[in-house]
Structure 1
């Protein structure tokens, strides 16, 4: 089965999702501190935060972004974020900048921190445990991502490193649903520079190795979070020549978590556009589920994939009418008429209006079934009652011809008027024919031409042919032979055999 990932990306939401398939509420706080007032400035954190915030926004997170935040700024942002996290399924904090002390008992350093004494931590820095507590409010999972181990910038203070990442008082039992992902393992610092092949053209890196890896793998579809972190770890080790190894602290539940769940979304939610929807959409029609009203034949070159995709959709969602209808369209395109008839009937039983029309056309045209205009009329009449314009037009044609019932031009005209009010170009063209021929009143050539013009402007090939005839002969308005030829060429390009025949006759060399 060949699915186009770019095409699917247009119609699938990039959502945070579990295997159960339910869309989650998501909140994130992203902080990048580069311009420190009392410590050496850092090159990439502001860029890292900006880029990570954009990536998370694209994944559906409600993001709070802070760059070069003071202590008051960060505390206010953390308070705002904590309120959002309490209402979220997944909450995430990303911090790039300085930190002191490793592990979960460390501190995140605002840009205005002085840290002249050991007691300054409580007033000038943000405890990592406060961040941890904020993300822990999320219903399913909290994530803390720290690109912050860049050495001790305040040399006057004694640094108390601990090998235990949980700290002396820390325990994973405190917040069971929280993961902390550190840029480097205990006792190590993160790299500010990356290898030359990963830098920009002028040799300066926009992002840290850790941020660059996160940005790379956040965009990868259907990557479970455990594997995402493993790929980030391996990428960072490679780009820093094994100098830096990220590590993760905490435990996940049994549920798989995806930050960019493309396949997971469509596998579990029929309201999300499926490959079946994409492959059975008309070439010039919309692909969104709510607007997928096309009845055009499936492309021949994609019919096998369409049948496979729609068969799979029917298997997963047997009560969803549109998948049975679209499977029928694909089967019809393959000329498997018996299967198409069965699929259309199933879709009809589930309430699909387009399937009613498709059944009617099969019996009306005698395609794959015995010709039965009376049964066709039965299906058209049901669809017409719920204002499905193509069925109304077909029913009007039956009344005009006397197929499947008595001939009734007045009723046909009323049906064409009904469909025209629904903006059907074919119905508008038929109103022009009735006006030109005077079938339900006096002939009105000017009005007929106006109807043809409107229909042609909407792309109806029959309307183009009729308008070309009027222009060629000066019917209902001025004569315009060059314009008529252009219209015929356009109608022929749209598939009108009548237009092709007329052009062939007009362009045929005259005998001498």
Structure 2
């Protein structure tokens, strides 16, 4: 195995539902390859047997092709594409070796036939031995009313890893048709290996997958949560299945309905006019973003329609509504400005009066979130998301990313951000872009990040505008351009972002595309600080402490640094609590200790040395 990465990829071209009566036409093809030269696999045939049995149980006319060479693999795929033409649901499953190789321009995910020499270190040899996953998607998409593709591959094999010089080949982005809903999951996180299981018994993932798809009433995303827990437990945490793409508007695919009913395969919801949508928000399909290299970065985006009767403004809307919620009927309030004591009862009353309103469900979640009742906030965000709230999806992602109210799970966070983004929420777009920029939970891809930031910016998201500016400032994924960075900062400021004011100040302090000017820098730091930006507060404090661009004023420095700490600014906290305070003047450090003593956070002498007691006091001041 070249990469040491095991994949499960699911591509769902339409949202589908089905009944235990199997009145619809369901077809499936399983290709299981184990007999590879020099690197045979023990479990693909067993995995195929498990999956085939489950598929037949839930009504799929299932064919299995074992140990297919390249010609047999290609023939089986072509035949299946024809069978899929008149089907309601077509499902393709591959078990065997599969990894990313270069086609000369970009990495391509290739499913390997038994003709392949999978131990070869040559990209050309590897590429010639299999079928690109892109080709599988293209050949099957649009044939059936709903198409599912699953790839269970890349078991850890030292023979293959040695052939690659000990390096791994990561999962490659799939080129997908426009206007397709996608669900992509991995049987383990990127860069990690997966267990092949005991010989002949099936892999932990295949067993969990085969069991999960037969459960009555479960949506496809719920199936993945369940199998993730099973696999994580069985492998003692060494393998954690992960969802890397979920473009289904609500994850709403249920293979086994609780009550028999005719198959319902529906088109993605069409956008409906929403008088509460902010200017610039996405209200219909958005063309794919084009990267600097000309490639498409993302699929079209279609937000769910707002529910009927969404226009009544309540106290809950005024006290806890969000400006970025596509369902909003009031201007919205910043999260930090929510007063939980007022918002919580107002939203409890509003949801009781209108229990079907996803907008009010989301608002109630925000009120609970602001009250730090994270577990109940998650409950209400999930209710809102289940009803189609893209804003609720984004906030669920944040709770999973932060581990508040739920166990931290970056894979879940990425999945929810992607759902929100595809449903048209600019916060989800921006947060998904941030994951791609940092490489957390997904393969790092700055161009993909830029694509999502631009979509969010087009929808009016001020933070995304600032993030685009930062990419230009740092030359990440684009040519460094301080002038373009400043353009985006100013757009962000115009859209209401306080941190962009601080970034403009930093540009003036450092002379990044503008004349170096400490006074102008402080003017912008002050604007950012007064607008609530913690970094602006910290930078203004530093200027006062050192007398940079302003007259030195130690007391002002202390006041602004305390505000920065209380605003939760990580940089300020690092400066004060991580032994970096020594870089600040001793007069400032003494004054800070004196203030901490006046607040009864320390009781020792004022020395200017930040000892353990001082650092502990700073932790408490910053609520850390």
Which interval holds the TM-score relative to the shorter structure? 0.3 to 0.5
Structure 1-normalised TM-score? Answer: 0.42
Structure 2-normalised TM-score? Answer: 0.35
